[in-house]
């Protein structure tokens, strides 16, 4: 297996092998990262971080299939990136679409996280929840929500900010760690 041989060379500090591996895998890794994040710069940064991490940990990683391992690292980093960035609509949608590239076990953990998000949304104050649901599920713009509910744009933005803040502060870090550790 060529990749396994390349990995052995990398573990023996061969920069040439690492550059070859990088050149062979970068485009594929970028594609996976971009499909998950939908942001070119973020995807490029993520791939760069993964390769740097791979080089730093090369002596301690016991990898049977470097390509599969690299793919999993990209998915893990993307998940971490999405879970740490602001939660508004875009990132929740991306998290929901993550199931398309996850195994059944990973999908189960993702669904658990989704249930946790829904549980937190259910605990939002009534008006805040209503604004969040209109924005998140009905995909109304801030202006449309303001008109529909008879409130100012600033008030709608405030409710969305409060909902996002509450989601970020109440997402169970243990669940996130469990998912991340299981995936790694």
Give pLDDT, residue 154.
Answer: 92
Architecture of domain 112-184: Orthogonal Bundle (1.10)
Give pLDDT, residue 71.
Answer: 87
Low-confidence ranges of the chain (pLDDT < 70): 1-2, 83-113, 171-184
Give pLDDT, residue 178.
Answer: 46
Residue by residue, DSSP assigns 138-170 as: S---HHHHHHHHT--HHHHHHHHHHHHHHHHHH
Give pLDDT, residue 148.
Answer: 92
Give pLDDT, residue 137.
Answer: 72
d(CA 156, CA 163): 11
Neighbouring residues of 177: CB distance < 8 A, sequence distance ≥ 6: none
Give pLDDT, residue 170.
Answer: 74
Q: Domain 1-89 adopts which CATH fold?
A: Rna Polymerase Sigma Factor; Chain: A (1.10.1740)
Indicate yes or no: pTM above 0.75. no
pLDDT in tens, 144-176: 999 999 999 999 999 988 887 787 777 655 554
- The residue extents of the domains of the chain are 1-89, 112-184
Give pLDDT, residue 92.
Answer: 54
- Host H or E run for residue 19: helix 15-37
Handedness of CA 43, 63, 5, 52 (dihedral sign): positive
**109-113-116 Cα angle (round to 5):** 140
Give pLDDT, residue 109.
Answer: 62
pLDDT in tens, 55-71: 988 888 888 888 888 88
């Amino acid at each position: 297996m060529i990749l396994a041989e390349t990995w052995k060379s990398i573990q023996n500090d061969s920069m040439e092998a690492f550059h070859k591996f990088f050149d062979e895998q970068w485009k594929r890794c970028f594609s996976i990262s971009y499909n998950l994040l939908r942001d070119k710069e973020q995807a490029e940064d993520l791939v760069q971080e993964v390769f740097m991490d791979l080089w730093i940990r090369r002596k301690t990683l016991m990898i049977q299939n470097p390509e599969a391992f690299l793919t999993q690292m990209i998915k893990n980093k993307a998940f971490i990136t999405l879970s740490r960035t602001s939660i508004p609509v875009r990132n929740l949608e991306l998290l929901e679409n993550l199931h398309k590239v996850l195994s059944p076990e990973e999908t189960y953990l993702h669904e658990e996280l989704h249930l946790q998000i829904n549980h937190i949304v259910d605990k939002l104050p009534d008006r805040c929840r209503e604004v969040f649901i209109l924005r998140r599920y009905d995909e109304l713009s801030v202006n449309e929500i303001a008109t529909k509910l008879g409130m100012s744009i600033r008030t709608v933005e405030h409710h969305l900010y409060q909902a996002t803040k509450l989601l970020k502060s109440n997402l169970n870090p243990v669940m996130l760690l469990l998912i991340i550790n299981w995936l790694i």
